[in-house]
Every structure is written in structure tokens, then in C-alpha cells.
Amino acid sequence: MTRVTTSARPPGRPRSGVNAVVFAATLSTVHELGYARATVDRIAATAGVAKTTIYRRWPSKGALIVDCLLDAFGPVPLEGASRAELMSSAIHWIAEKIGEPGVGDAFAGVFSDAVSDPALREVLSARFQDPYRLALQEALGEPEHRVLFFIDVVVGTLLHRMGMTGEPMVDADVAALVEMVLPHFADGAGST
């Protein structure tokens, strides 16, 4: 075991720490111009970075957006004494995140790209949805298909509003969403 195991820094020039700058540039560009006009060229220019640098780190625009969203969302805050409080806070949390400038546009944009791009769909599902799904499964003690249904309803509703109107869902409607979803997922309800 004379060789260093895994933590050895690889040879060559180290990467400069511009990921955070690129993420910020991505969100602001998407917010200003919309998803389709937020070209990688413009994002790179806004970040003060060469386009080739972005493609050296992310294999596609979709992968960049997914990483950017992962960075913007962070982990779910699964707080709340009761089951109802926990679900309510999770719904409000994601609604708030989707309402942040650029986040909802980027989410809806990459989601729509994924529809006709199986590879991107796999990335989106595995790297973005699965962590939240697993955390919710554990916190709620629900089987996988029920949590997937929960995510479909909450995220689908919020994205549909965002896509149809261009504006995030207002608080009153988010509250209505909570009121509608909670009884269906109360203990012992919705045995499907």
C-alpha cells in the first residue's frame, strides 16, 4: 500500500472554482431571456468564462441546468412535528423555490427538453427527482409509487401554472394545493 489510494489530486492544472459563478449566470440569464434564448454562449459570457470551459464540465446544456437546479434547491427541509406539517412545509418549500427568479423557467425548460430526450430524462429523474423521492419515502413511510404520485401532483401543478401563465403560483393557490393534497395522504387514506 505504498500508493496513495483515492484522495490524490490528479495531475495537471486544477480547475478554477467558477461553478458557482456559472450557476448564478445561468439563473440570471434564464430569468432575463427565458430558457430557449438563454444560450450557452450568453451564459458563458455572463459568467465571464469561455463556452468551451462550460462544455468541459457539463456534457450538455441540459446537464448544466440540472446541476444548476440541484445547487439552487439543495436538500428538502423535512421539518414538522406532524405528518401534515411535514407535507405542508415541503409543498410550500418547493413552490417558493420554483418561484425564485430563473428557477421555475429553468425547471420547466429542462423538463420539456427531457420529454423528447430519454438521456436527459434519465439524468433528471436519477439526479434530481430520486434524492427527494427517497427522502420523502423515508420521512413519510409511504411506498415508492405513492410518493411518485405526490411529486407528480405537486410539481406538475406548479409547473403547469408557471408554463401557462409565465408567473409562479400565488400563495393562496399554493394553500389550496396543500388543502387538496393533505387529506389524500393522511394516515390510512388513499390506499391505491
Partner DNA sequence: TAGTTTCGCTACCTCAAGTATCGATACCAA
Partner DNA sequence: TTGGTATCGATACTTGAGGTAGCGAAACTA
Taking CB under 8 A as the criterion, which residues in 137-156 touch its own copies? 145, 149, 151-153, 155-156
Query: Per rule CB under 8 A, is residue 132 in the interface with its own copies?
Result: no
Compute the distance between CA of residue 126 and CA of residue 110 in angstroms, rounded to an integer.
14
DSSP reduced 3-state for 117: coil
Most distant CA pair in the chain, distance: 63
Q: Does 169 bind its own copies (CB under 8 A)?
A: yes
Closer to DNA by Cβ: residue 8 or 81: 8
Q: What is the nearest approach in angstroms of DNA to the Cβ of residue 68?
A: 13
Q: Which of 56, 122, 152, 167 binds DNA (CB under 7 A)?
A: 56
Is the CB of 18 or the CB of 24 nearer to DNA?
18
Q: Which stretch binds its own copies (CB under 8 A): 19-27, 55-63, 76-84, 167-175?
A: 167-175
130, exposed or middle or buried, with CB in 10 Å at 0-12, 13-18, 19+? exposed
Instruction: Rounding to the nearest 10 degrees, give the CA dihedral for residues 100, 101, 107, 110.
Output: -170
Q: ∠ CA(41), CA(163), CA(145), 5° rounding?
A: 105
CA distance 122 to 85: 31
- For binding to its own copies (CB under 8 A), which residues are involved? 33-38, 105, 108-109, 111-118, 121, 124-125, 129, 145, 149, 151-153, 155-166, 169, 172-173, 175-177, 179-181, 183-184, 190, 192
- For binding to DNA (CB under 7 A), which residues are involved? 8-16, 18, 36-41, 48-53, 55-57, 59-62
